[in-house]
Homo-oligomer: A and B are copies of this chain.
């Protein structure tokens, strides 16, 4: 009987880990490909460097935790560009042993300590003044590394300590996506003079019902001004808040065009520790320098013509998958209020896949 109970416990344990798909998740960060992609992203990496440089005076003698440090670039910035007393560089994947070598190679081993382990389990010698992390994924939350950051905050951040980023916002805009629509849908109308329209329902299912993560939107494809649909305060956000997050939007169409879908991106802000210092911002939208996150496109079932003066209003719901804990489903509801004619009511469910796809975020 005891054996059976032990086995059951082990089963539960295995199944819990599986829900986080940690082997796959941390496995992918054990190879260089993703780290190279992130390091090669200058907008991202320079933003973190700028945060360190512009706060270097205030960082003197502070204790810093760099959570999910990867190759340790942020920790090395801290050690070389400021004078913290200690930096704890925490990394769960097997990259950690290389990170240790890089810290040594760059002469930072007096300041930077690499700790291999999951944020939930790691033990630090002391509490920290600053918790810095690059936890953002596609659509801001995908992969839900943010949960590890919140748990680390609650365990290790001193009262009055600082979170970098300090806040995060998800932005949405109704847009055209002419070439994507042509490539994936119009294509079947007459390829090589043939009629392949019987494949269009399959194309819609395969290309339009899941978010397209690697989309690059031109500013000109935005049909309205973009709008922040949700804002997260990294000091007050709770793990349970992540289960279901709702936002609203109300857009005014500025020019006539074809409404193919919604595009989203995120911005994070890093508050200044210096008196009167300016906030550093990392904006992954179409008016900023490109990043490896690019933008995310949610296609409508079918395109709608819109006119200047029309309005597009609705809600966005991010529901974390109750089983696959790194996944979520994003549901958009909207209605178009035409200044010209009828009102269309539409709904589209955009699901994030049933598997962790290491999609660069």
Query: Interface of A with B (CB < 8 Å)?
Result: 31-33, 36, 39-40, 45-46, 49, 71, 73, 76-77, 80, 98, 101-102, 105-106, 183-184, 187, 191-199, 202-203, 206-207
Interface pair A191/B32, CB less than 8 Å apart? no
Contact among B105, B184, B199 for A198, CB-based, below 8 A = B105
A200 to chain B, nearest CB (A): 10
Interface pair B106/A199, CB less than 8 Å apart? no
A198 to chain B, nearest CB (A): 4
Interface pair B183/A32, CB less than 8 Å apart? no
For residue A199, which residues in chain B have a CB less than 8 angstroms away from its CB? 32, 71, 98, 102
Interface pair B194/A76, CB less than 8 Å apart? yes
A195-B32 contact given A187-B40, A202-B98, CB 8 Å threshold: no
Distance between Cα atoms of A32 and B31 in the complex (Å)? 30
Distance between Cα atoms of A49 and B194 in the complex (Å)? 12
Interface pair A105/B195, CB less than 8 Å apart? yes
Interface of A is mostly: helix
For residue A197, which residues in chain B have a CB less than 8 angstroms away from its CB? 105
For residue A32, which residues in chain B have a CB less than 8 angstroms away from its CB? 199, 202-203, 206-207
A185 to chain B, nearest CB (A): 10
Interface pair A36/B184, CB less than 8 Å apart? yes
Interface pair B198/A101, CB less than 8 Å apart? yes
For residue A187, which residues in chain B have a CB less than 8 angstroms away from its CB? 36, 39-40
For residue A206, which residues in chain B have a CB less than 8 angstroms away from its CB? 31-33
For residue A191, which residues in chain B have a CB less than 8 angstroms away from its CB? 39, 73
Distance between Cα atoms of A36 and B73 in the complex (Å)? 40
Contact among B33, B49, B202, B207 for A192, CB-based, below 8 A = B49
Distance between Cα atoms of A101 and B202 in the complex (Å)? 13
Closest to A200 in B: B32
Q: Can you sample 21 A-B contacts with CB below 8 Å?
A: A31-B206, A32-B207, A33-B206, A39-B187, A39-B192, A46-B192, A71-B196, A71-B199, A73-B192, A76-B194, A77-B192, A80-B194, A98-B198, A98-B202, A102-B194, A102-B195, A102-B196, A105-B196, A105-B197, A106-B194, A106-B195
Closest to A100 in B: B198
Distance between Cα atoms of A278 and B195 in the complex (Å)? 30
The 6 A-B residue pairs with the shortest CB-CB distance in the complex, in nearest-first order: A101-B198, A32-B206, A105-B195, A105-B198, A32-B202, A106-B194
For residue A196, which residues in chain B have a CB less than 8 angstroms away from its CB? 71, 102, 105
Distance between Cα atoms of A77 and B101 in the complex (Å)? 60
Most buried by B among A102, A192, A195: A192
Closest to A197 in B: B105
A110 to chain B, nearest CB (A): 16
| New contact pairs (7) apart from A102-B195, A105-B197, CB-CB < 8 Å | A33-B206, A36-B184, A36-B187, A36-B203, A80-B194, A102-B194, A102-B199
For residue A45, which residues in chain B have a CB less than 8 angstroms away from its CB? 192
For residue A36, which residues in chain B have a CB less than 8 angstroms away from its CB? 183-184, 187, 203
Closest to A205 in B: B32
Distance between Cα atoms of A36 and B40 in the complex (Å)? 31
A195 to chain B, nearest CB (A): 5
For residue A195, which residues in chain B have a CB less than 8 angstroms away from its CB? 102, 105-106
Distance between Cα atoms of A203 and B33 in the complex (Å)? 9
A354 to chain B, nearest CB (A): 15
For residue A98, which residues in chain B have a CB less than 8 angstroms away from its CB? 198-199, 202
